A and B are shown apart, each in its own frame.
Chain A
Amino acid sequence: MNNKKMSSFLIDNILYICLFIMIVIIAIISPSFVSTRVLSDVLIQSAPKVLLAMGMLVVIISGGMDMTVGRLAGLGAVVAGTFAQTSDYYLKFWPNLAEMPLIVPFLVTVLVGAGSGVITGLIISKFKVPAFLAGLGLQLVIYGGNLLFLKKAPNNSQPLAGYKVSFTNFGTGSIFGINYLVILAIAIMVIVFILLNRTTLGKNIYAVGGNREAAKVAGINTFRVDMFVYIFSGVLAAMAGLMMSARTGSATAAYAEGYEMDAIASCIIGGASFAGGIGNVPGTFLGVIIFSVINYGLTFIGLSSYWQYIVKGLIIVIAVALDMRKYAARQ
Chain B
Amino acid sequence: MSDSQYILEARELVKTFPGVKALDKVTLKVKPGTVHALMGENGAGKSTLMKCIYGIYKPDGGEVFINGEKAEISNPREAMDKGISMIHQELHPIRPQTISENIFLGRIPYKKALGVKWVDYKRLNNEAKELFNKLEIDINPKMKVQELSTAYCQLLEIARAVSFGAKIIIMDEPTSSLTESETEILFRIIKQLKSENVAIIYISHKIDEILQISDEVTVMRDGTLVGNWPASELSTDMIVSKMVGREMTNRFPPKNHTPGETYLKVENFTSSNPHSFKDISFEVKRGEIFGIGGLVGAQRSELVESLFGLRNISQGTVYINNEKVTIKRPMDAIKKGMALLTEDRRNTGIIGALSITDNTLVVEQNLHPELFTTGAFVDYKKRNEAAQKYVDALEVKTPTLKTQIQSLSGGNQQKVILGRWLLTEPNILILDEPTRGIDVGAKYEIYELMEKMASEGKCVIMISSEMPELMGMSDRIMVMCEGHNSGEVSGEDVTDEKIMMFASTYKSGENE
Contact = CB atoms under 8 A, between A and B. Distances in A.
Interface stretch (B127-135, B207-215, B265-273, B329-337): B329-337
Given A197-B378, A199-B378, A277-B354, 16 more contacts: A203-B358, A203-B362, A203-B365, A203-B378, A207-B362, A210-B351, A211-B348, A213-B347, A214-B348, A215-B351, A217-B340, A219-B334, A221-B329, A221-B331, A277-B353, A330-B407
A279 to B, nearest CB: 10
A200 B374 CA distance: 11
Contact of B420 (A200, A213, A218): A218
Contacts of A210: 351-354
Nearest to A277: B353
B354 A220 contact: no
Contacts of B342: 214, 217
B366 A217 contact: no
A203 B359 CA distance: 10
Q: Which of A197, A206, A219 has the most CB of B within 10 A?
A: A219
Contacts of A206: 351, 354, 358
B350 interface: yes
Interface string B345-374: 001111111100010011101110100110
B310 interface: yes
A215 B347 CA distance: 10
A273 interface: yes
Contacts of A326: none
B410 to A, nearest CB: 15
Interface of A: 194, 197-200, 202-204, 206-207, 210-211, 213-221, 273, 275, 277-278, 330
Nearest to A210: B351
Contacts of A194: 377
A202 B373 CA distance: 13
What 4 A-B pairs come out closest when comparing CB atoms? Answer: A210-B351, A219-B331, A277-B353, A198-B377
A124 B35 CA distance: 50
A213 B378 contact: no
A213 B305 CA distance: 12
A83 to B, nearest CB: 32
Nearest to A220: B366
8 contacts: A198-B378, A203-B378, A207-B354, A213-B348, A214-B342, A217-B342, A218-B362, A220-B366
Interface string B462-490: 00000000000000000000000000000
B428 to A, nearest CB: 14
Nearest to B375: A198
B91 interface: no
Q: Which of B330, B331, B349, B353 has the most CB of A within 10 A?
A: B353
Nearest to B349: A214
B1 interface: no
A210 B358 CA distance: 11
A214 B350 contact: yes
Contact of B366 (A219, A273, A275): A219
B114 interface: no
A217 B339 CA distance: 9
Contacts of A197: 378
Contacts of B116: none
A211 B351 contact: yes
Contacts of B363: 218-219
Contacts of B354: 206-207, 210, 277
Contact of B330 (A198, A203, A216, A278): A216
B358 A200 contact: no
A206 B362 CA distance: 10
B365 A200 contact: yes
Given A213-B347, A214-B349, A199 B362 contact: no
A275 B354 CA distance: 13
A216 B351 CA distance: 11
Interface in B287-340: 308, 310, 329-331, 333-334, 340
A211 B88 CA distance: 28
A281 to B, nearest CB: 15
Contacts of A198: 377-378
Contact of B358 (A207, A213, A216): A207
A30 to B, nearest CB: 42
Contacts of A199: 376-378
B381 to A, nearest CB: 12
A207 B373 CA distance: 18
A282 to B, nearest CB: 17
Contact of A277 (B329, B330, B348, B351): B351
B378 to A, nearest CB: 5
A200 B373 contact: yes
Contact of B347 (A203, A214, A273, A330): A214
Contacts of B365: 200, 203-204
A218 B333 CA distance: 10
Contacts of B367: 219
A278 B407 CA distance: 15
Contacts of B362: 203-204, 207, 214-215, 218, 220
A211 B373 contact: no
A207 B378 CA distance: 15
A213 B365 CA distance: 17
Q: Which of A199, A210, A214, A218 has the most CB of B within 10 A?
A: A218
A218 B353 contact: no
B332 to A, nearest CB: 9
A330 B361 CA distance: 24
B378 A200 contact: yes
A221 B333 CA distance: 13
Contacts of B352: 210-211, 277
Q: Which of A197, A202, A213, A214 has the most CB of B within 10 A?
A: A214
B272 to A, nearest CB: 17
A278 B373 contact: no
A192 to B, nearest CB: 14
A206 B354 CA distance: 8
B329 A211 contact: no
Nearest to B374: A198
Contacts of B378: 197-200, 202-203
Nearest to B334: A219
A67 to B, nearest CB: 23
A217 to B, nearest CB: 5
Contacts of A214: 342, 347-351, 362
B305 to A, nearest CB: 8
Q: Which of B330, B340, B366 has the most CB of A within 10 A?
A: B366
A220 B330 CA distance: 8
Contacts of A275: 353
A272 to B, nearest CB: 11
A203 B361 contact: yes
Contacts of B347: 211, 213-214
Contacts of A219: 329-331, 333-334, 363, 366-367
Contacts of A330: 407
B168 to A, nearest CB: 38
Interface in B12-65: none
B345 to A, nearest CB: 9
Q: Which of A197, A210, A221 has the most CB of B within 10 A?
A: A210
A212 to B, nearest CB: 9
B330 A218 contact: yes
A329 B365 CA distance: 32
Nearest to B347: A213
Interface string B411-446: 000000000100000000000000000000000000
